[in-house]
Structure 1
Amino acid sequence: MDDDPELEAIRQRRMAELQQSQQNQAAQQEQAKQIEAQKQSILRQIMTPEARDRLANVKLANPNLAASVENQMIRLYQGGRLQQQITDAMLREILQSMVPQEREIHIERR
């Protein structure tokens, strides 16, 4: 059975595209791992072990909030505005300020 040369060329191009796509995905994953490792390294420098444990617990419950806090602390560190390590008490204050206060709803019946 003779394969059409045009069809074979299309197959070859498609295989090359798939391989390129896989390579790009692998490179993006590697870059994401490196960025995460850098973030964790900075957080180890600027936070006490207790604060890191609390942040890890927050990350399990609310990943978006934890990421926001991490990014804020890293920006402060890179801007030179952190004079000391973040303690557990300081982290609790930061978290309380970032979590919106729950509003109580009152229903009046008339």
Structure 2
Amino acid sequence: MADEEELEALRRQRLAELHAKHGDPDDPAQHQAKQREAEVRNSILAQVLDQSARARLTNLAFVKPEKMKAVENYLIQMAQYGLLSGMVSEPGLIEILEKVSQQTEKKTTVTFNRRKVMDSDEDDDY
């Protein structure tokens, strides 16, 4: 009996920790906060991107959503610091995309470790 009570207490504690860490998906306040954040992001992006640049960014979301998020974050940060002069056009967005791509590009290298196989009399049977 005591073991079952302890186990249930541990389950409740773990569930509370998970809710604190990740949030409760059914929590209406958290849902509203995410919705407000999305509205603010969209508002800022609407102010800094012209129509063609916005369309290109939307198309990018279908192909590479993580890159689209990185570009959005970059644009929002630049706008907040006042580093954008006027609206960003499609060519300007392409330059930003190239910068973000260079920063996030994964460099892969392949190395071969060759091992010298010792010759033995047993291998001469082929």
Q: Place the TM-score, normalised by the shorter chain, in its bin.
A: 0.5 to 0.7
Unaligned runs of 5+ in 2: 1-11, 17-22, 110-126
The 1:22/1:63 distance shift into structure 2, 3 A limit, reads closer
Query: What letter corresponds to residue 41 of structure 1 in structure 2?
Result: S
Q: Which of 73, 76, 79 does residue 74 from structure 1 map onto? A: 76
Question: How many aligned residue pairs are there?
Answer: 87
Structure 2 equivalent of residue 28 of structure 1: 30
Structure 1 equivalent of residue 56 of structure 2: 54
Cα deviation, residue 28, structure 1: 0.8
| Greater relative contact order (Cα < 8 A, sep 6+) | 1
Where do 4+ consecutive residues of structure 1 move more than 3 Å? Answer: 21-24, 100-103
Structure 2 equivalent of residue 95 of structure 1: 97
Unaligned runs of 5+ in 1: 1-13, 106-110
Superposed CA RMSD in Å reads 2.9
CA contact (8 A) 2:53 2:89 kept: yes
Query: What letter corresponds to residue 52 of structure 1 in structure 2?
Result: R
TM-score for both structures, normalised by structure 2: 0.60
Larger Rg: 2
SS of 2:27 mapped into structure 1: helix
Cα deviation, residue 97, structure 1: 2.1
